[in-house]
Structure 1
Amino acid sequence: MADSSGRREAIQTRLEGVIRKNRFTIAVVFPAIGALTLLASTEGLLPEPLAYNPLLILFGTLVMRSPLVVGLLPRIDRRALAALGVLTGYTYAIEIIGVRTDWPYGAFEYGIELGPMLFGEVPLALPLFFIPLVVNAYLLTLLVLGDRGTNPLVRVGNAVVAVVAVDAVLDPAAVAVGFWTYVPPGPYYGVPLSNYFGWVLSGTVAVILVDLAFDREALLARVRDCEFVLDDLVSFVLLWGAINLLYANWVAAGVAGAFVVGLLRTDRYDRAMLRTALPA
């Protein structure tokens, strides 16, 4: 057992070293390249097979998710695996229901294949796209609320609002670059309001499962100690916020700006951090 624990700690230390050494590349360079390639794909400036290449999309997403995954690894136990496993199943189920019945999000169609498709209907990598968004919103909520987060209703309620706000940034940008379309288009940059009622439902279930997955005090201590664990949210804001700006989705870009304010309130993104994150 001691040898196994020592190996796990050594692997964790090595992974954290890789993330710290490449923070700027992961959190800034990758989303910048992602925004440019998606824009070029949408405008027909990239040739095949680079345009909307699903392998490139999945690789970029995995890289940008890596700070969150590595940061939370020490808090992943059987309880967390069980809750996240249920959340994974729920993620597939609600998306398949949405594609087949137009409920709860409204009628939508995928414009491109985001990698292999489960049953030919939803991306197999869907949990990779959805679950980290929920976890990021939840972690940011914990940090911003502080002691007020001890109240589960306050904690879960604010986290659900943060999850819906995440989609208020994501969906207009995703529609703009052709990831999916709503039929008919809605009033919020092509997104129907029903989509956000659906996200209130799916976000509530997802946040409750994330809340059950971890010991809150241990998780909060880890998030406070691990300076890069929210870098995935930084990548998200840069990537999708930039696309919203480029397509003049001003309200969505403003919501992305609100996340910037929230990240700054965590007191971990300042000039000192920038000096340590920039490559030598």
Structure 2
Amino acid sequence: MASVELPARARLERRLDEVVEDNRFTIAVVFPAIGAITLLASAEALLPGPLNFNPYLLLFGIAVMRLPLIAGVAPLITRRTAVSLLALCGYTYAIEAVGVVTGYPYGVFEYGVNLGPMIGGEVPAALPLFFLPLVVNAYLLCLLLLGDLAGRTAVRLPVVVAAVVGMDLALDPAAVSLGFWGYAAGGWYYGVPWTNYAGWVLSAVVAVGILDRAFDREGLYSRVERCQFMLDDLVSFVVLWGVINAYFGNWIAALLAALFGYGLWRTDRFDFPER
């Protein structure tokens, strides 16, 4: 029987799956480990000037670590999903711009490291690349951990919102310690004020609500259940921010990163193939 040629999109998705599958350990462990070392060396001014917090190396590393998530969700993207994700990107830019200009809802802060091109000189153009994966990873992990309970909106949404805020409780102290950004008044939690997390609750509620309507939940669950690499971006998160927090002695934040690692272990997501 003659083989049927796949449409261009299907071929691209299959090829992306193959690239990620063949390089899982490199993408999910080696890249964030090198990233942690490079960022810590930059914070200590140990690298040659242009390499200290080089924004293009930073963005390249983040983009590579996002590949498993991109490959995982790609087959599920419909026109409706694309519109919803664009709306979520717009919301991300808008609330960040309000935060930078007014200090609400996160507290007064400013960026201390060049994170690449800026929109209006205020908001990093790559912001969705930083924020959206946190929400999607939290959503996917909670779908797997909740099982049948994930079908109940009153359970699913609050748990995912809590997971998103938990991820920022692990991320923000490390970012502040590195000097990525800082809060004018400091804060009780490793230099981060409580207002930041109140703002993250607001951001997470809106973002999770949009995401929940963007995808077919059953299709998303089916994909993440059978696609072992789909949460590898969260593995990178655990390695990168866990190491950085441990270096700076942010032990509560480091333990929170480890807690997400435990969640990944519970869902059997550490089966990197030997090559």
Give the TM-score, by structure 1 length: 0.95
1:19 lines up with 2:41 in the alignment? no
In structure 2, C-alpha distance between the alignment counterparts of 1:161 and 1:261, rounded to whole Å? 16
1:53 lines up with 2:47 in the alignment? no
SS at match of 2:51: coil
Match runs of 1:27-46 below 5 Å: 27-46=28-47
Q: Kindly provide the amino acid, as one letter, of the partner of residue 96 in structure 2.
A: E
Partner of 1:84: 85
SS at match of 2:121: coil
SS at match of 1:113: coil
Match runs of 1:90-101 below 5 Å: 90-101=91-102
Deviations 1:140-194 (A, max 9, x none): 0111000000011211100000000000010000001110000111010000011
Q: Kindly provide the amino acid, as one letter, of the partner of residue 200 in structure 2.
A: W
In structure 1, C-alpha distance between the alignment counterparts of 2:255 and 2:212, rounded to whole Å? 28
Over 3 Å counting, the alpha-carbon distance change for 1:180 and 1:4 in structure 2 is farther
Judge conservation of contact 2:137–2:234 (CA < 8 Å) in 1.
Answer: yes
Deviations 1:203-259 (A, max 9, x none): 110001110110000110011111100000000110011100000001001111110
Unaligned residue ranges in structure 2 (runs of 5+)? none
In structure 2, C-alpha distance between the alignment counterparts of 1:8 and 1:118, rounded to whole Å? 31
Instruction: Please state how far the C-alpha of 1:268 moved relative to its aligned partner.
Output: 2.9
Single out whichever of 259-268 and 151-160 deviates more from structure 2.
259-268
SS at match of 2:47: coil
In structure 2, C-alpha distance between the alignment counterparts of 1:267 and 1:67, rounded to whole Å? 16
1:145 lines up with 2:154 in the alignment? no
Judge conservation of contact 2:231–2:269 (CA < 8 Å) in 1.
Answer: no
SS at match of 1:40: helix
Q: Kindly provide the amino acid, as one letter, of the partner of residue 160 in structure 1.
A: V
Partner of 1:133: 134
Instruction: Please state how far the C-alpha of 1:6 moved relative to its aligned partner.
Output: 2.5
Q: Kindly provide the amino acid, as one letter, of the partner of residue 36 in structure 1.
A: I
Q: Kindly provide the amino acid, as one letter, of the partner of residue 193 in structure 1.
A: W
In structure 2, C-alpha distance between the alignment counterparts of 1:110 and 1:4, rounded to whole Å? 49
Match runs of 1:1-280 below 5 Å: 6-269=7-270, 273-274=271-272, 276=273, 278=274, 280=275
Instruction: Please state how far the C-alpha of 1:113 moved relative to its aligned partner.
Output: 1.6
Q: Kindly provide the amino acid, as one letter, of the partner of residue 65 in structure 2.
A: M
Judge conservation of contact 2:186–2:192 (CA < 8 Å) in 1.
Answer: yes
SS at match of 2:49: coil
Percent identity between matched residues is 59
In structure 2, C-alpha distance between the alignment counterparts of 1:223 and 1:241, rounded to whole Å? 24
In structure 1, C-alpha distance between the alignment counterparts of 2:88 and 2:266, rounded to whole Å? 29
Q: Kindly provide the amino acid, as one letter, of the partner of residue 268 in structure 1.
A: R
In structure 2, C-alpha distance between the alignment counterparts of 1:4 and 1:233, rounded to whole Å? 34
Over 3 Å counting, the alpha-carbon distance change for 1:150 and 1:60 in structure 2 is same
Instruction: Please state how far the C-alpha of 1:14 moved relative to its aligned partner.
Output: 1.1
Give the TM-score, by structure 2 length: 0.97
CA RMSD of aligned residues (A): 1.1
In structure 2, C-alpha distance between the alignment counterparts of 1:119 and 1:84, rounded to whole Å? 22
Instruction: Please state how far the C-alpha of 1:5 moved relative to its aligned partner.
Output: 5.2
Deviations 1:46-74 (A, max 9, x none): 11210000000000000000000011100
SS at match of 1:49: helix
In structure 2, C-alpha distance between the alignment counterparts of 1:256 and 1:236, rounded to whole Å? 8
In structure 2, C-alpha distance between the alignment counterparts of 1:113 and 1:209, rounded to whole Å? 29
SS at match of 2:188: coil
